[in-house]
Structure 1
Amino acid sequence: MTITAGMDELRGVLMGLSEGGKREVSHAMLYEVFGLDDEREKVRLRRRMQDMVGHGEAERVSPGVYRYIPKATPRRHGESYIRVWRAVRSHRPGWSFHDLSQVTRVSYSMVRRYCVFLEEEGYIERYGRSGNTLKYRGTMRAREQRATPYPPIKHADPFEAEKAAALGLVRVFLTMDPYSEKARAKVMEHCQTLVDRFGEASNG
């Protein structure tokens, strides 16, 4: 596994290792979890942590050690949706995803995902093409609605608790004395979470 998997995965690991922001997380712990041996990948991870500090998602406690701040995690790209929606309503018929991306400075991939949702909901419709590029226009429904329509929030990860337990085990072996009673209790607690979920399947 490498950090190129994305920021969402990094946030998930930080959430698990920090136990929801209660404990500190180090570069060394992240290297171990992601299996990073290549120095370039380690540099990329450190830069992403620096970005998170800059955005207020993490606080640097000491060199290479951070406190994760879950409540500061970006939610739903709200401002980006607003900009794209305004562009959809103001553009003349015949615009493309690329046009919206350029004028709003929102990534093409996000514009595309959002417009797929808008088309499914009847806010935009296809309006011919230019070469291989599809063109669109806003519908009457879009003209009548000023408020930004938001895509539905994805359902929670059904294995969130189990992933947190697995990361909790990693934390125990990286930061605690495995022979201590406290570590033993933590291991039993996390293992019980995994057994509760997967025990019946293995016994069936």
Structure 2
Amino acid sequence: MTNSLERKPNSALSQWRSQKGEQKRPPPPPKKKNLSPPTPPLPTLPIDIPVPDVSQQIEIPAESTAPLEQVETPEQVIPVRLTANLTATESDPSAVNETETIARPIQETETFTADPTSSPCLITPDVLPYRNRTVAVQVTTNEAGQATDASVRQSSGSPVYDELAVCLVRQWQFEPATDQGVPVVSDALVVAVRIE
């Protein structure tokens, strides 16, 4: 009598295991061989035709011996920094009422550079001969003391110098004009501008 606890080997399972163990990876596919025939070398032939001379057909200009054009440099060098002085002058008394005070420059002197990246006012060599001249500029200021308009009241004799002075005044900061202590828009201020 056989022991019921003893297990007989499962024939189907053992057969599957034996087949699994016997399976191997398939061999890699064979490399394809180049089946096209090799290209035969091209025959070379000697060239018996002479190379044509084209040097007489093409005109080669002679080297220019003309002198180089002279470039004129400005005699006056534009200084890197200029100083502008602003002085408030008496305005037209009829433009100011009794309760109004006119605007005043916060500072009377300011240095600016001849650099367009830091100053919008353009300095040209035409300005330099007129330095230290005075131009009178009438200024309109708003309630914040900013110059909203400026125009020449009395010229220096140079339109370029006058234009630079007006441009500088537009960048200036002022104490606003007041009426009964309240800041107001005013065009009563006239300043004398001198650029050194």
Same fold (TM over 0.5): no
Larger RCO (CA under 8 A, 6+ residues apart): 2
Name which one, 1 or 2, has greater alpha-carbon Rg: 2
| Structure holding more strand per residue | 2
Taking structure 1 as the reference length, the TM-score comes to: 0.21
Taking structure 2 as the reference length, the TM-score comes to: 0.22
